Homo-oligomer: A and B are copies of this chain.
Amino acid sequence: MPVIDPTAVELQTRHEPAYRVVVRSIEAKIMSGQWAVGDRVPAETTLATDYGVHRSTVREAIRVLEQNGLVRRHDGGKLLYVTAPREADISQKVTAAIVLHEISFFELWESMRCLEPMLAECAAKRIDDEALEALRANVEKTKAAFEDKRSLVELDIEFHQIIARASRNRALQLSREPMSQLFYPAFFNVFSRLNAGERLVFAHERILQALSRRDVTDARSWMDKHIVDFRRGYELANLDIEAPVGRAQQSG
């Protein structure tokens, strides 16, 4: 009795296409560990004869597995290997889903207000000196980049990313990543309209101090303030909180 059963609900009457059978078979082999991460996947022709189908059919199956991040070819190579899905693989898909479902900035903001303080809290418990040093460097660079809005955005993204990694919680990171991709472009709008650099540096400094002291409570509360403050900036910049994210945001 498998803990997860993706193969559970399946229509018996309409016979499943062959390529999907191949997908599920290989998927099962990978998820069960029979084909371990790093193993090479047999050639298309081999799979075709093994499964008794045409190579085109195998190919379609491979595209599906590839897209799910379960198999991948090493950079510039043509051999296929079993892999664990990369964060970027699924992050991108979640991002697309958010856009197409026309999820509002508000929903994203609310989620970030939930996740970021938690990430900060976890980071305060587990951050190492290396990450702390990276954060210090980031804040210094931010101070120096007051003029350049674009660098400001990039440095802000980096700041939060370092903290996310420092949390040592990959599940939280996985949740945060796709949202941040959509959340932060809005930053550029805010920075362009308001001169928010000063507030940004102030907040980042406070958070950094809290993390340095491993002060869980402070890290959380400053991060929370920071997220709340961003929403105010968003509103002050005359952007629509309720508008779906993803398409180019316009001022009201």
Residue of B nearest to A14 (CB): B76
Task: Evaluate contact between B172 and A4: CB separation under 8 angstroms.
Answer: no
Q: Which of A1-15 contact B (CB under 8 A)?
A: 1-4, 6, 14
Residues of B close to A59: CB separation below 8 A: 56, 60
Task: Kindly state the separation between the CA atoms of A73 and B42 in the bound complex, as whole angstroms.
Answer: 30
How near does chain B come to A251, taking the closest CB pair, in angstroms? Answer: 14
With beta carbons under 8 angstroms apart, the residue of B30, B31, B96, B111 that contacts A68 is B96
Is A45 part of the binding interface, using a Cβ–Cβ cutoff of 8 Å? no
How near does chain B come to A73, taking the closest CB pair, in angstroms? Answer: 11
How near does chain B come to A44, taking the closest CB pair, in angstroms? Answer: 12
Most buried by B among A4, A66, A118, A247: A4
Indicate with 1 or 0, residue by residue over A41-68, a CB within 8 angstroms of chain B CB atoms: 0000000000000001001100110111
Is A182 part of the binding interface, using a Cβ–Cβ cutoff of 8 Å? yes
How near does chain B come to A150, taking the closest CB pair, in angstroms? Answer: 11
Q: Which of A155-163, A173-181, A192-200 contacts B (4 or more CB under 8 A)?
A: A173-181
How near does chain B come to A105, taking the closest CB pair, in angstroms? Answer: 10
Task: Evaluate contact between B67 and A67: CB separation under 8 angstroms.
Answer: yes
Residue of B nearest to A83 (CB): B100
Known A-B contacts A69-B93, A96-B85, A171-B98; the reply to A181 vs B4 at CB < 8 A is yes
Task: Evaluate contact between B70 and A67: CB separation under 8 angstroms.
Answer: no
Task: Evaluate contact between B172 and A107: CB separation under 8 angstroms.
Answer: yes
Is A21 part of the binding interface, using a Cβ–Cβ cutoff of 8 Å? no
Indicate with 1 or 0, residue by residue over A78-122, a CB within 8 angstroms of chain B CB atoms: 000000110101101111111111010001101100110010001
User: Could you list 27 A-B pairs, sorted by A, with CB under 8 Å?
Assistant: A2-B248, A3-B245, A3-B246, A4-B99, A4-B182, A19-B63, A31-B99, A31-B100, A60-B60, A63-B63, A63-B64, A63-B67, A68-B96, A69-B96, A85-B97, A85-B100, A85-B101, A89-B93, A89-B97, A90-B93, A90-B94, A93-B93, A108-B171, A110-B171, A110-B172, A111-B169, A115-B175
The chain A residues found within 8 Å of chain B, CB to CB, are 1-4, 6, 14, 19, 30-31, 33, 37, 56, 59-60, 63-64, 66-70, 76, 84-85, 87, 89-90, 92-101, 103, 107-108, 110-111, 114-115, 118, 122, 169-172, 174-175, 179, 181-182, 185, 245-249
